[in-house]
Amino acid sequence: RPLIGITTSDRKSQIAWLFDWFAVWRHGGRPLRLSPSRPWPERLDGLIIGGGDDIQAHLYNAEVQLDVRVDPQRDELELELLETFIPRRVPVLGICRGAQLINVYRGGTLDPDIYTTHEGLKRRRTVLPRKTVDIVGASQLQCILGV
């Protein structure tokens, strides 16, 4: 059974973590909780960067927003994990905030507040969020999913 590390906060995201844990377990993996206060192993078979608070703006050269929740220790942990496991070609999945952090790690840009940049978006705060994605034709993701 592959060992799959799943990142989370020390203080928050407990329900979301349980859903991620269950999904990994249900599909044959051994889920391992990774948080700033827990040591992490030298070997993982996969890594999930989970959802949570906003990413610190200075990490992607944006202006600091005063009305956002951030978790600097978690940002540091997840960037260290990416720095360690991506060069080893360990599969990495980013969920919501996690996808944004992978983008920042790779040098991408990020809107600090998508609701001010893109009008008309609905705010959803739920442990069962639904996201719409567009899969680019002939991309690696399209090949993997077979759509």
- The Cα–Cα gap between 130 and 128 comes to 7
Segment 70-76 shows an average pLDDT of: 94
CATH for 115: 3.40.50.880
Total domains present in the chain: 1
Inside any domain, residue 117: yes
Separation CA 34–CA 47 (nearest Å): 10
Range of the domain at 115: 3-121
* Structure confidence at residue 130 as a pLDDT band (50, 70, 90): low
Give yes or no for a contact between 47 and 5, defined as CB atoms under 8 angstroms apart: yes
Q: Give the pTM.
A: 0.83
Structural domain contains residue 134: no
Does a structural domain hold residue 99? yes
Q: Which is more confidently placed, 4 or 136?
A: 4
Evaluate whether residue 143 is within a structural domain.
no
